[in-house]
Structure 1
């Protein structure tokens, strides 16, 4: 079973983190939060955006980037950045890989990116568009990774209920 992982490096906006948490619950994805956060995790905005799903979220917090690396040795990580050489849909996401996103105001620190240029991926955009919203970016890349893993463990069909007039 695919068990994908989303890493948020120093997220700043509680609503984005709440929305990402809800997406992780809906997809069976683990969320990893690297401190410092720009808000308190008990913030009403996070819980409101995550709605009543927050208590179902598989979430781990880390003191900093080094703490993450120490607790996840050998993790295969893709770095979502506007500086990436590869389009996110052109890489093959392994079932247990990690996909990292940086803080809303600055992205992933350059010193991390330069150590992993081949794992840097980007979402194509037109012209000089600076970036997409963080929660939208996570959803775009995560669903591609899920698609590549055949939406393992996910409900693939809905059911219409015919209304009788």
Structure 2
């Protein structure tokens, strides 16, 4: 399983997601451009000393990310508020890439259309969305639970 961040704009959220990936041993695909300088002190503060434990792959664009995925097994699973399927109804697979959009705008229509599967976190009516780092933790936790992590 992999995590993919589409053009993140908040360094603290990106740092928190990178820390999550380090703790679960998941590689991360960062699809640029970012809305901040990647060596931002706020990113380092949120990620703490966990950042050195992340297998990070930076892609200069969506097209570069798609080219890197060519031939790689697994589905692209987009977390979006526009999905009909709740994340708990999804049967995650070990080769899935979980894609999280920009905090300010999600993902554009072409990226949405490229996903193999779209899921959402159910919430109370009238509320828009969760913080992307919290959403990443919820969905990643469920996926890892289904896949048997940790094994003991």
Q: Higher Cα Rg: structure 1 or 2?
A: 1
SS of residue paired to 2:29: strand
1:16 to 10, 13, 17: 13
- Within the alignment, does 1:110 sit opposite 2:117 as a pair? no
Aligned partner of residue 92 in structure 1, secondary structure: coil
Stretches of structure 1 that go unaligned for 5 or more consecutive residues are 157-165
2:91 alignment partner, SS class: coil
Q: Compute the TM-score of the two structures, normalised by the length of structure 1.
A: 0.86
d(CA) in 2 for partners of 1:90, 1:132 = 19
Equivalent position of 2:77 in the other structure:
78
Match of 1:101?
100
Whole-Å Cα distance in 2 between the matches of residues 155 and 136 of structure 1? 23
**Residue 155 of structure 1, CA deviation:** 6.6
Which residue of the partner structure matches residue 121 of structure 2?
Answer: 123
Matches of 1:54 and 1:112, distance apart in 2: 27
Match of 1:143 among 141, 144, 149: 141
Tell me, in whole angstroms, the C-alpha distance in 1 between the residues paired with 2:14 and 2:65.
Answer: 18
Normalising to structure 2: TM-score of the pair? 0.93
| CA shift for structure 1 position 63 | 0.9
The CA RMSD measured in Å over matched residues stands at 1.4
Give runs of aligned pairs for residues 14-53 of structure 1, distance below 5 A.
Answer: 14-53=11-50
Structure 2 counterpart of 1:161? none
1:114, distance to aligned residue in structure 2 (A): 3.2
Which 4+ runs in 1 deviate beyond 4 A? none
1:60 partnered with 2:57:
yes
1:33 is paired with a residue of what secondary structure? strand
In the TM superposition, what are the counterparts of 1:153-164 in structure 2 within 5 Å? 154=150, 156=152
Tell me the secondary structure at the aligned position of residue 33 of structure 2.
Answer: coil
SS in 2 for 1:114: helix
